[in-house]
């Protein structure tokens, strides 16, 4: 791969399998680590002239990198981690702040509304971009505003109603804008022990379902609420618990989780996911969309 010189901290010729929870991925030309809004803007402006392919990597928790080399720049937000209160109720977070850190900050302040963020893998930028939800909470319900950077370097501000468009859907998913920062709104207070107890309950539920036993992306498919039951329940009914493809295996405890059990490739994971999706359509009459974000070049048919 050719030598490049980015306007921020970066690593070149990096193996992406070491950057994402799933443990898959070929080499990227570079991984960039901007440390603030202006550094991210400088990177985007620099790339307007270079025109390299760009990919976003939040915490690497909901990403499946292709086994093939990525001929461009992966942007990591791990150095954009500033977080501070701008009022008694509003918390500003840069895109790289981890969800669990936000929940812990709210606990210390006695603020309610973000308990469900505890142990939710990932960073707030990607959480907003995909309108993440779990345990009855949804990021759209606690977001007051979103700062984005356009690919041309412009800093933009959006209200929630301009961004959140539905269940795990936002206008930013197919946009040249990148979530750079978020203002979260927490008007409600609650006793410390009540908040902590709820957070620990969510943690126990994740552990009881063995979410963290092996590398995964969490839920592979979104739910289709027209089906009247979760995707995990559908795959359970279809007998997919323990199903395997190469080194990939469906969890025995949550049938919408595919683990990287033993050196699975991205192809292994997607072939298994494809079997599951086809079975859901043919046998249960339910169409399901991938929730995991697939980045890079994949074999023809793997993403169909």
CATH of the domain at 69: 3.30.43.10
Polymer length in residues for the chain: 304
182 in any annotated domain = yes
CA distances from 141 to 136, 164, 277 (A): 11, 10, 30
Query: Which residue stretches of the chain have pLDDT < 50?
Result: 1
| Model pLDDT, residue 303 | 80
155 lies in the same domain as 72: no
Last residue of a domain, one of 207, 235, 252: 207
Domain that residue 120 falls in: 83-207
- Please check whether residue 216 lies inside any domain of the structure: no
Tell me what pLDDT residue 2 has.
52
Q: Is residue 4 domain-resident? A: no
27 part of a folded domain:
yes
Distance (Å, whole) CA 42 – CA 38: 6
214 domain-assigned: no
Strand partners, 185: 90
Question: Is the domain of 87 the same as that of 65?
Answer: no
Element (H, E) at 202: helix 192-208
Residue 302 maps to a domain: no
pLDDT at 291: 94
The residue from 44, 76, 108 where one domain ends is 76
- Whether 183 and 230 map to the same domain: the answer is no
> Residue 161: which CATH number?
3.30.465.10
Classify burial at 190, counting beta carbons within 10 Å of its beta carbon; exposed 0-12, middle 13-18, buried 19 or more: middle
Q: Same domain for 116 and 202?
A: yes
258 within domain boundaries: yes
Domain with 286 in it: what CATH number?
3.90.78.10
Is there a single domain that holds both residue 186 and residue 234? no
* CA–CA dist 16, 27 (Å, integer): 6
In contact, 129 and 173? CB cutoff 8 Å: yes
The pLDDT of residue 283: 97
User: Are 89 and 72 part of one and the same domain?
Assistant: no
Residue 98's beta-bridge partner residues? 123
pLDDT of residue 1: 44
Asked if 99 and 156 sit in the same domain, the reply is yes
Closest to 120 measured CA to CA, from 217, 23, 249, 231? 217
Tell which of 46, 76, 106 closes a domain: 76
User: Does an H or E element contain 259, and which?
Assistant: strand 258-260
**CA distances (Å), origin 206, targets 21, 200, 220:** 16, 10, 16
- Residue 220 within a domain: no
Count CB atoms within 10 A of the CB of residue 240.
20
What is the number of domains present in the chain?
3
């Amino acid at each position: 791969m050719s030598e490049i010189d980015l306007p921020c901290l970066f690593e070149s010729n990096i193996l992406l399998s070491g950057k994402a929870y799933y443990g898959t991925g070929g080499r990227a030309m570079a991984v960039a680590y901007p440390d603030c809004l202006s550094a991210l803007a400088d990177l985007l402006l620099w790339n307007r002239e270079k025109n390299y392919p760009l990919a976003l990597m939040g915490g690497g928790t909901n990403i499946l990198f292709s086994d093939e080399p990525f001929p461009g720049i992966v942007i990591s937000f791990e150095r954009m981690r500033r977080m501070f209160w701008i009022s008694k109720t509003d918390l500003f977070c840069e895109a790289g702040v981890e969800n669990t850190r936000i929940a812990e900050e709210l606990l210390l302040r006695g603020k309610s509304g973000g308990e469900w963020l505890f142990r939710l893998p990932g960073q707030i930028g990607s959480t907003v971009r995909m309108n993440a939800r779990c345990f009855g909470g949804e990021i759209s319900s606690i977001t007051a505003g979103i700062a984005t950077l356009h690919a041309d370097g412009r800093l933009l501000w959006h209200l929630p109603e301009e961004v959140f468009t539905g269940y795990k859907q936002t206008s930013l998913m197919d946009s040249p804008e990148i979530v750079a920062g978020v203002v979260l709104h927490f008007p409600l207070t609650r006793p410390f022990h009540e908040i902590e107890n709820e957070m620990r309950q969510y943690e126990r539920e994740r552990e009881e379902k063995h979410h963290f036993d092996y590398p995964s992306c969490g839920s592979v498919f979104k739910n289709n609420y027209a089906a009247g039951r979760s995707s995990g329940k559908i795959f359970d009914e279809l007998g997919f618990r323990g199903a395997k493809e190469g080194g990939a295996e469906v969890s025995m405890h949550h049938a919408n989780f595919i683990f990287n059990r033993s050196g699975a490739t991205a192809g292994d994971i997607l072939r298994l996911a494809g079997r599951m999706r086809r079975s859901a359509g043919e046998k249960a009459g339910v169409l399901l969309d991938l929730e995991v974000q697939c980045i890079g070049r994949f074999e023809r048919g793997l993403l169909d």
